[in-house]
Structure formats: structure tokens, C-alpha cells
Structure 1
């Protein structure tokens, strides 16, 4: 298994300089920033990622103002009181992408968020308290208790709102397979456990966040070079 310094130096070489690489990295949100997010914020981002899956993101983003209007700014409280026949009406509204199966996830994920809030005070507190060294456990929770939050949908939502997580992007997956860290299915328990162990090891070596490590690995492989000579 490669050491962190080897991966980091290759990423630096590919990006042209340490400064260039650092400009591409971003830190996750602080625990305080995460806790400040509302339940509605989480429902909105879960819904955005559910709809972006399998669609051009630009199409979903262009209609997002319509989504917010139709679904009451993603108010968890209001959506929990919505009768089933109203959901069918909303699913056919021209202001949104009319996909009933995905629209159904909105009240379902609202219910999940509500249940977590009842137990933990707020959904954001629950997310903020979950240790990143077991981030795959949080992925599994969202997949089991949420609607259409498996695969990369849950993790991409976490990343979007600032929770420290690595992502199994194509470049990261390519690296993990090339270095025999995972084999077989990407989303199997064996592969996810091996990926988590690898990132935990890199974190111990570097002191960096899972997010930064994930980005560094992605920048160390794949078709993402920057044509800038190494600066002294």
C-alpha cells in the first residue's frame, strides 16, 4: 500500500505545484457549521441529489426554483402533513422534473429526518456526531432508512453540505482497484470496509480530513493533469 507522501507528491506533480494542488483542495464544514443546518436543508439536498442521479445536473439545477415552490421550500413539517393525493398532483407539476418514483422519496426522506430528529434533537446533530472514521456506517444508515440514498447519492449529499467524507468517484475507485485495495463490487461490505480502512490509515499518516484525502487521491490519478510546469 502506498504511503500518503507518495500519493501527495504525485498529485503535486500532476497539478504543477504544491500551491496549485492546495488551491484545489477544500476542507469540510466544522461541527458548529453542520449543526447550524436545518432539517429542511437536508431534505432539500437529499432531493436534489436523488433527482440529479441519472439526469443532467444542469437540467435539475435549472428547475430547482420550481422544486422549491412546489414543495414548500422543502419544509419537513409541511410535507409530513401532505395527503397522498396531493403528492400525485405535485408530481405532475410542470415546474419540476416529473418523475413520480423520485418525487415519492421526498415525504419518505422527510419522515426519516423527522424520526432522527425525535431521537437526537436534530438531524444535523446526528450527522455532526457521526465519526468520519466510520463514515461508511453513516452511508449504510442513509441507505437503509432513507429512500434512494444508496450508492453515491447519500455520500454526495453529505459532501455537499459539509460532512467530512471520502467519495468513491471514478478516479478514487480506479486508484483503489489498481492498488488491490478493493476488488469485486464497489458497494459490497468487503469493498467499503477496505476503503474505509485505507482512508483511516492515510488520515493517521497525514492528519488531513477524509475530504482532502479523497481529493488528493483523485488528483493523483486519472485524466486530470494541469499543464503547468513545476514551480520552484
Structure 2
């Protein structure tokens, strides 16, 4: 397994310099910032990522104001009181992308968030408290207890709102396979555990967040677009 410094030096060379690379390594939110998020924000981001899956993200983003109007700004409290026939009506609203199976996830994930909040004070508190050295455990929780939050959907939503997580993007997956860290299905327990172990090792060597390390790995092997910032790696 490569050491942190090897990966860092290659990424810095590909991006032009260590200074340029540092500008691209965006840190996640801290626990205090995460706890300050309203639980409704998590439902909104889960829904956004569910709808973005299989669609052009630009299409979903262009309709997002409509989604917010139709679903009461993703108010968990309001959505929990919504009767089934109203959900069916909202699923046909032209202001949103009309995909009933994905629309069904909104009240289902609202219920999951509500249940977690009842046990932990808030869903944001629950997310903030989850240890980064077992982030795949949080992925698994969202997959098991949420609706359509498996695969990369849950992790991308976590990243979007600032929870420290690595992502199994194409570049990261390519690196992990090239270095024999994973060799089977990407979402198997063995592959996920191996990826977590790899990033935990890098974190111990560097002191950086999983997010920064995930970006670093991607920049060390992916398309070399110098100066373009992204947090989706």
C-alpha cells in the first residue's frame, strides 16, 4: 500500500505544485457546524441525491425550487402528517420530476429521520456523533433504515452537507483496484472494510480528514484539470 507522502507528491506534481493542491483539498464541517443543521436539511439532501441518481444533475437542480414548493421545504414534521392520497397527487406535479417510486422515499426518509431524532436529540446530532473511522457503518445504517440511500447516494448526501466521509468515486475506485486494495464488488462488506482501512491508515499518517484524503487520492490519478475545485471525489 502506498504511503501518504507518495500519493501527496504525485497529486501535487499533477496539479502544478503543493500550493495549488492545497487549494483543492476542502475540509469537511466540524461537529458544531453539523449539529447546527436543521434535520429538514438532511431530508432535502437525501431527496436531491436520490433524484439525481440516474438523471442529469443539472435537470434536477433546475427544478429544485419546485421540489421545495411541492414538499413544504422538506419539513419533516409536515411530511409525516401527509396522507397517502396527497403524496400521490404531489407525485404528478409538473414542478418536480414525476417519478413516483422516488417520491415515495420522501415520507419514508422523513420517518427515519424522525425516529433517529427521537433517540439522539436530533438527526444532525446523530450524524455528527458518528465516528469517521467507521464511516462505512453510517453508510450501512442509511442503506438499511433509509429508502434508496445505498450505493453512493447516502455518502454523496453526507459529503454535500459536510459530514467527513470518503467517496467511492470512479477515480477513487480505480485507485483502490489498481493497488489491489479491493478486488471484488465495490459495495461488498469486504471491499468497504478494505477501503475504510486504507483511508484510516492514510488519516493516521497525515492527520487529514477522510474528505481531504479522498480528494487527494482522486487528484493523484484522475483527470488532471488543474485549478478546478470539486468535493465529489
For 1:66 and 1:147, locate their aligned partners in 2 and report how far apart those are by CA, in whole Å: 22
For 1:24 and 1:165, locate their aligned partners in 2 and report how far apart those are by CA, in whole Å: 16
Q: Report the secondary structure of 1:165's partner residue.
A: coil
Aligned ranges for residues 106-121 of structure 1 at < 5 Å? 106-121=106-121
For 1:53 and 1:204, locate their aligned partners in 2 and report how far apart those are by CA, in whole Å: 33
TM-superposed CA distance for 1:118, in Å, is 0.5
- Aligned pairs, number: 227
Q: Partner of 2:79 in structure 1?
A: 79
Q: Partner of 1:158 in structure 2?
A: 158
Q: Partner of 1:96 in structure 2?
A: 96
* Structure 1 spans left out of the alignment, 5+ residues: 228-232
Q: Deviations over 1:130-180 (max 9, x none)?
A: 000000000000000000000000000000000000000000000000000
Q: Partner of 1:25 in structure 2?
A: 25
For 2:60 and 2:222, locate their aligned partners in 1 and report how far apart those are by CA, in whole Å: 27
Q: Partner of 1:173 in structure 2?
A: 173
Q: Partner of 2:182 in structure 1?
A: 182
Using the size of structure 2 for normalisation, the TM-score is 0.96
Q: Partner of 1:230 in structure 2?
A: none
Aligned ranges for residues 191-230 of structure 1 at < 5 Å? 191-226=191-226
Moved more, 25-34 or 216-225: 216-225
For 2:10 and 2:68, locate their aligned partners in 1 and report how far apart those are by CA, in whole Å: 43
Q: Partner of 2:62 in structure 1?
A: 62
Q: Report the secondary structure of 1:138's partner residue.
A: helix
Aligned ranges for residues 139-158 of structure 1 at < 5 Å? 139-158=139-158
TM-superposed CA distance for 1:25, in Å, is 1.1
The runs of at least 4 consecutive aligned structure 1 residues that moved more than 3 Å come to none
TM-superposed CA distance for 1:82, in Å, is 0.3
Q: Report the secondary structure of 1:104's partner residue.
A: helix
TM-superposed CA distance for 1:225, in Å, is 4.6
1:129 aligns with 2:137: no
For 2:25 and 2:83, locate their aligned partners in 1 and report how far apart those are by CA, in whole Å: 44
For 1:32 and 1:226, locate their aligned partners in 2 and report how far apart those are by CA, in whole Å: 32
- CA RMSD, 1 decimal: 0.8
* Structure 2 spans left out of the alignment, 5+ residues: 228-233
For 1:106 and 1:222, locate their aligned partners in 2 and report how far apart those are by CA, in whole Å: 34
For 1:36 and 1:226, locate their aligned partners in 2 and report how far apart those are by CA, in whole Å: 34
For 1:10 and 1:180, locate their aligned partners in 2 and report how far apart those are by CA, in whole Å: 19
TM-superposed CA distance for 1:226, in Å, is 3.1
